[in-house]
Amino acid sequence: MKIFLDTADLNEIRKGAALGSVDGITTNPSLIAKQGRDFKEMIMEITTIIDGPISAEVTTLTKEEMLRDGREYAKWQKNIVVKLPTTREGVEACKILSDEGIRINMTLCFSPMQALLVAKAGAWCVSPFVGRLDDISSDGVELVSQIVHIYQNYDYKTQVLAASMRTPLHVLQCALAGAHIATMPFKVFDALYDHPLTDKGLKNFLADWEKAKKDMAKSKGK
């Protein structure tokens, strides 16, 4: 499963890139707004740090506007993926842009039938929002599982990008469900590295090694 960071924070992106396991970046208007900087400038800077897919989301609602903005973003850099909302106009725009060879990430997907429609429209990936479904007492991971199943049934090439990951458990469950990609905040990504038994085991190994070295030095001195 590919790992994307869901952030527009350049420090987090740099830290993630240095760790070597980040395959791409997703952004959304809320994440970009938090940085308080020009949209194009931000996206272009991200493309200089990560050479995998970088999702840039439109903030327009009509098909014509989405086509205009999608075509524009796709020209900025070859690894930009245009992110469109899963609405009627968004799915229409997805079909047209995908036919032109532009990679589309269909976002705000909350049902398996929306996912079927975007696959038929040729989307490069679909983003089911796991955490936001859990927030309303629905089962986000189950949605990911259903989409993976439907895509396998009909051999759709659209990838399932599990979004709105709130915990390492979400990431595990989406990997088990067969998601192709999971996108997560830096904090969740960073937590994937940790296990208390790794730390405890390492501490014991090093303590044993230090003791053995001292014992060996002592016996040589005898």
Q: Minimum CB separation from ligand G3P for residue 172, in Å?
A: 17
User: Which residue carries 């730390």 as its tokens?
Assistant: 199
Please check whether residue 128 is in contact with residue 151, taking contact to mean a CB–CB distance below 8 angstroms.
no
Is residue 163 involved in binding ligand G3P (CB under 6 A)? Answer: yes
Tokens of 41: 């400038």
Residue of the chain from 3, 4, 5, 6 that contacts ligand G3P (CB under 6 A): 6
Residue 90 in 3-state DSSP? helix
Residue 9 in 3-state DSSP? coil
Q: Minimum CB separation from ligand G3P for residue 27, in Å?
A: 7
Q: Binding pattern to ligand G3P, positions 96-135, x when CB under 6 A?
A: ---------------------------------x-xx---
Is residue 26 involved in binding ligand G3P (CB under 6 A)? Answer: yes
User: Is there a catalytic annotation at residue 40?
Assistant: no
Residue of the chain from 164, 171, 174, 188 that contacts ligand G3P (CB under 6 A): 164
Q: Distances in Å between the alpha carbon of 143 and those of 77, 85, 174, 180?
A: 32, 17, 10, 14
Q: Which of 83, 95, 157, 211 is catalytic?
A: 83
Binders of ligand G3P among residues 58 to 97 (CB under 6 A) are none
Closest CA to 161 of 122, 192, 115: 115
- In the complex with ligand G3P, the residue whose CB is nearer, 47 or 164, is 164
Q: Which run of H or of E encompasses 26?
A: strand 24-26
Is residue 28 involved in binding ligand G3P (CB under 6 A)? Answer: yes
- In the complex with ligand G3P, the residue whose CB is nearer, 96 or 132, is 132
Tokens of 158: 């659209």
Q: Minimum CB separation from ligand G3P for residue 131, in Å?
A: 5
- In the complex with ligand G3P, the residue whose CB is nearer, 187 or 214, is 187
69-76 contact pairs (CB < 8 A, 24+)? 70/97, 70/102, 70/104, 71/97, 71/100, 71/102, 73/43, 74/102, 74/103, 76/40, 76/43, 76/44, 76/47
Binding residues for ligand G3P, rule: CB under 6 A, are 6, 26, 28, 129, 131-132, 163-164, 183
- The residues assigned a catalytic role are 83
